[in-house]
Amino acid sequence: MEFRKIFDTIPEQFDKYRPRYSPELFAALIEYAGIGQGKSVLELGPGTGQATDPILNTGCDYNAIELGENLYEKMKQKYGSCPNFNIVNDDFITHDFGSQKFDMIYSAATIQWIPEEIAFSKTFDLLKPGGTLAMLLMRGDYKTPNEELYNEIQKSYTAYYKPETPYTHGSFKYTNAPNYGYVDFEKREFYGTREFTADEYVAYCGTHCDHLVIPEPYKTKLFEGLRNAVLAAGNKIVFSDTYILYLAKKPN
């Protein structure tokens, strides 16, 4: 199974444990792009809504395209009663948007699953003149807040992290947006923290695409090792999170 499709196998766990983004990031994005009533927005691959509420709640014409059938159904279950909510279950790479154009297109850790040339060229074509492309991602650091625990966790990864499919993701370059006609490219950072119990941490790790393709008995042994390490550290692990917002404009 393609990595970009594997999240669709765990919609409930994905919804419960995948991180949300900082309120400060969304406030800055909404102000920058001028999002509100009368504006049309497209979210790429919303998952189960980790980055949906703040944009939907502006009253904009919210649209989303979700590849996963189960994730799509979860989105409809959560937001289908909202009059400004629209979603299609399809692949952005091949979907025909017809005459639709958007004031903003945004992605929360999704656009990197699309080949760069298609991602940037197609979003550029779908934006109105002056429209905004926003790309969100998060980097979680659990080494700095708890280095001794981090070292114990790495022992389990060394012994049991043996995914069936090599994880080679990471080649997508957000900074290449200007190569496709975008202007005013910038990067902003926001900060936050998360805290997990041992069971919560294991459940969160179980939503990582590369962990989902670890065969047994390695997967069970890895998760047991992670759980035991956090339990031994007082049943708590802390993440220092950096929320990254890349912004670019289509010229007027």
| Total domains present in the chain | 1
- Residues 180-195 have pLDDT tens digits of 999 999 999 999 999 9
Does the pLDDT value for residue 41 go beyond 80?
A: yes
Q: What's the pLDDT score for residue 166?
A: 74
**188 HSE (CA, 13 A, CB side):** 16
Does the pLDDT value for residue 81 go beyond 90?
A: yes
Q: pLDDT-derived band of residue 6, with 50, 70 and 90 as boundaries?
A: confident
> 140: which 2 tokens?
């979680």
> Domain range holding 212?
3-249
CATH number at residue 90: 3.40.50.150
- Single out the residue of 61, 152, 27, 48 nearest to residue 110, CA to CA: 48
In DSSP notation, 81-128 reads T-TTEEEEES-TTT---TT--EEEEEEES-GGGS-HHHHHHHHHHHEE
- Single out the residue of 124, 109, 126, 135 nearest to residue 183, CA to CA: 124
> 40: which 2 tokens?
């049309």
For the chain, give the percent of residues with pLDDT over 70: 97
Q: pLDDT-derived band of residue 138, with 50, 70 and 90 as boundaries?
A: very high
Q: Please list, in sequence order, all residues whose beta carbon lies within 8 angstroms of the beta carbon of residue 196, skipping any fewer than 6 positions away.
A: 204, 230, 236, 237, 239
1-35 core/surface letters (b: 16 or more CB in 10 A; e: else): eebbebbbebbebbbebbbbbbeebbebbbebbeb
Across 144-148, average pLDDT: 97
